[in-house]
């Protein structure tokens, strides 16, 4: 079931597992089959990650199978680009599906046949009310609906009109096929729901063969039955629609005692994120973000490009669990999952994002040496690397002040500090430009302090990172923060007004240690004392390397200026 080891178990206490345990114990099913049924009208987001982990995880844990099925019944919004991205996301999360991907369009002929069955039974009719009229006739939550004047047509007339719809004899919006159920039902979804609508739109798989397309509620249950799905798991907004799911299967010839059943769980709502494809698409189309895979987006591809790991997302989905209670998950839960995984597994390196030149005046100009550093402080098996050291190095601008209080543990004039994996130095003087900005610091180093304390007993309380000015690799580093300023941007009257203007700042003059020169794509590194960073796949061939900040070392959202390291 998996292309990599995915050991995270769906929490044992969740109600869906309890249902499956009971079904298997009673012999209702001998094995289970689930499905993940995305609509290919956009890229998948964090909410889909929860559904992927649930459906594929259940199949894995019970030794069953999981189908990937594309709900491609709305050709106006669908594209093969989205199909490809969805398959990539599922694989990246560590799962694979049984056999070839399935498509709702695989069943268009059968779906049409089942619609004809309902018409012949007098359970479906062609309605010529306009979409606005249908909404008006449907009624409200407090008042029943009214029957359409076309509701009592004879089956023979409806069959002829449905064939006319199929053959292009009606304009869009001039006719549709509706189920004949109960216009007074307390469930609006049962008030003669639309089963087929007209769309003169070429389909990405069937071309122009069809001009009528089935609705999701009609397609979904039949597709589940055709594929032998045992447990059809979806989110709570489809809870009322379960009645229509069952009604369709009960009234077509596909009905059987072991037909599938639908179960609903709460969708994933995450702070500071949007999970509406419509709104995400608006952000992309209007240029507020750099595509569906912008690292600030809550899409799986965006998180992958940012440097999140599949293991972190699987861990997150496991932690939030599966319930029927709607809630909002704090962003810190996801971020802590990412930090936990990267802290354990990310190799270390040094990078200076805002360089300041530092000259060690008593170090020979023509001398170079290699200093050894571990690739991970707790994992010897990850080995070591060699870092070149010379007279001129670069430190971060935030790591030097002419004067500072005792809480400042970095470099100041006449105070000792250790260079990471290197010597103890002392700042003696600094140079400034015409505006008074420090542009160079002159220091003295103590040769006997490599791997040792000061021989005179003086204490060194600060450690700063650095890169050789002679050997460093230039880079551009994108510093990403949360895209929105408020926890629930979707609830705002104008969600665009809640966009964080500092969600992206660019460190255009960053310098990396030479070990990162051949940094592979898809690997996230810890830039020591700065955070976690991943090489940007979009700029793999650029002459200057581009890295994206995955996440800071600790949560600093709203506490520090975007792009600046906390003191």
What is the set of active-site residues? 39, 267, 277
CA 297 to chain centre: 7
Look up tokens 């409806």; give the residue.
Answer: 158
Largest CA distance in the chain: 104
| Residue 374 near residue 384, CB atoms below 8 Å | yes
What residue ranges in 183-309 does DSSP mark as E strands? 194-198, 212-214, 231-235, 261-265, 269-270
Q: Could you say which DSSP state residue 462 is in?
A: -
Backbone angles phi and psi of 171, in degrees to 5: -75, 160
Task: List, in sequence order, every residue forming a beta bridge with 549; answer none if it has no partner.
Answer: 533
Q: Which two tokens stand for residue 41?
A: 């009208």
CA 523 to chain centre: 17
Backbone angles phi and psi of 368, in degrees to 5: -135, 145
Q: How far apart are CA 552 and CA 216, in angstroms?
A: 42
Backbone angles phi and psi of 355, in degrees to 5: -70, 145
Which long-range contacts (C-beta less than 8 Å, at least 24 apart) are formed by 376-381? 376/346, 376/347, 376/348, 377/348, 378/344
Nearest to 296 by CA among 510, 565, 548: 548
**Residue 418 parent element (H or E):** strand 416-419
| Residue 526 near residue 515, CB atoms below 8 Å | no
What residue ranges in 88-143 does DSSP mark as E strands? 102-103, 124-127
459: which residues sit within 8 A by CB, 6+ positions away? 416
Q: How far apart are CA 411 and CA 392, in angstroms?
A: 16
**Gyration radius from the chain CA atoms:** 30
Q: How far apart are CA 174 and CA 187, in angstroms?
A: 26
């Amino acid at each position: 079931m998996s292309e990599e080891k995915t050991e995270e178990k769906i929490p044992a206490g969740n109600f869906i597992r309890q249902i499956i345990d009971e079904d298997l114990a009673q012999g209702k099913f001998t094995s289970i089959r689930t499905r993940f049924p995305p609509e290919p009208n956009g890229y998948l987001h964090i909410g889909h990650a929860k559904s992927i982990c649930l459906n594929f995880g259940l199949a894995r844990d019970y030794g069953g199978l999981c189908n990937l099925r594309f709900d491609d019944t709305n050709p106006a919004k669908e594209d093969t680009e989205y199909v490809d991205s969805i398959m990539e996301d599922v694989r990246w999360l560590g799962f694979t599906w049984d056999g070839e991907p399935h498509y709702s369009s695989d069943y268009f002929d059968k779906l049409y046949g089942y619609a004809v069955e309902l018409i012949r039974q007098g359970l479906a009719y062609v309605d010529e009310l306009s979409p606005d009229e249908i909404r008006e006739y449907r009624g409200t939550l407090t008042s029943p609906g009214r029957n359409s004047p076309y509701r009592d047509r004879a089956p023979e007339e409806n069959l002829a009109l449905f064939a006319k719809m199929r053959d292009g004899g009606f304009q869009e919006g001039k006719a549709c096929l509706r189920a004949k159920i109960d216009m007074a039902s307390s469930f609006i979804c049962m008030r003669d729901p639309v089963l087929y609508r007209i769309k003169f739109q070429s389909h990405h798989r069937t071309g122009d063969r069809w001009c009528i397309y089935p609705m999701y509620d009609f397609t979904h249950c039949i597709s589940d039955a055709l594929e032998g799905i045992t447990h059809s798991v979806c989110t709570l907004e489809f809870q009322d629609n379960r009645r229509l799911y069952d009604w369709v299967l009960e009234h077509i010839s596909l009905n059987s005692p072991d037909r599938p059943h639908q179960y609903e769980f709460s969708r994933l709502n995450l702070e500071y994120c949007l999970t509406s494809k419509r709104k995400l698409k608006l952000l992309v189309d209007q240029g507020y973000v750099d595509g569906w895979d912008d690292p600030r987006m809550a899409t799986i591809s965006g998180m992958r490009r940012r440097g999140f790991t599949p293991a972190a997302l699987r861990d997150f989905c496991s932690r939030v669990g599966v319930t029927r209670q709607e809630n909002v998950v704090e962003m810190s839960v996801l971020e802590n999952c990412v930090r936990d995984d990267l802290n354990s597994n990310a190799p270390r390196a040094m990078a200076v994002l805002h360089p300041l030149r530092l000259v060690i005046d008593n170090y020979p100009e023509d001398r170079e040496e290699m200093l050894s550093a571990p690739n991970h402080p707790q994992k010897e098996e990850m080995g070591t690397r060699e870092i070149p050291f010379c007279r001129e190095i670069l430190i971060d601008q935030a790591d030097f002040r002419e004067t500072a209080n005792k809480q400042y543990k970095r470099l100041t004039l006449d105070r000792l500090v250790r260079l990471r994996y290197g010597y103890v130095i002392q700042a003696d003087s600094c140079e400034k430009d015409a505006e008074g900005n420090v542009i160079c610091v002159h220091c003295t180093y103590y040769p006997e302090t490599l791997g040792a304390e000061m021989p005179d007993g003086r204490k060194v309380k600060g450690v700063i990172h650095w890169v050789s000015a002679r050997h460093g690799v230039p880079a551009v580093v994108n510093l990403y923060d949360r895209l929105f300023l408020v926890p629930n941007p979707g609830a705002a009257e104008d969600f665009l007004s809640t966009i964080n203007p500092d969600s992206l700042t660019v460190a255009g003059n960053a310098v990396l240690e030479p070990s990162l020169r051949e940094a592979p794509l898809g690997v996230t590194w810890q830039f020591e004392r700065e955070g976690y960073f991943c090489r940007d796949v979009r700029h793999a061939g650029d002459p200057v390397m581009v890295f994206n900040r995955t996440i800071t070392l600790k949560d600093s959202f709203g506490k520090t200026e975007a792009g600046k390291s906390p003191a």
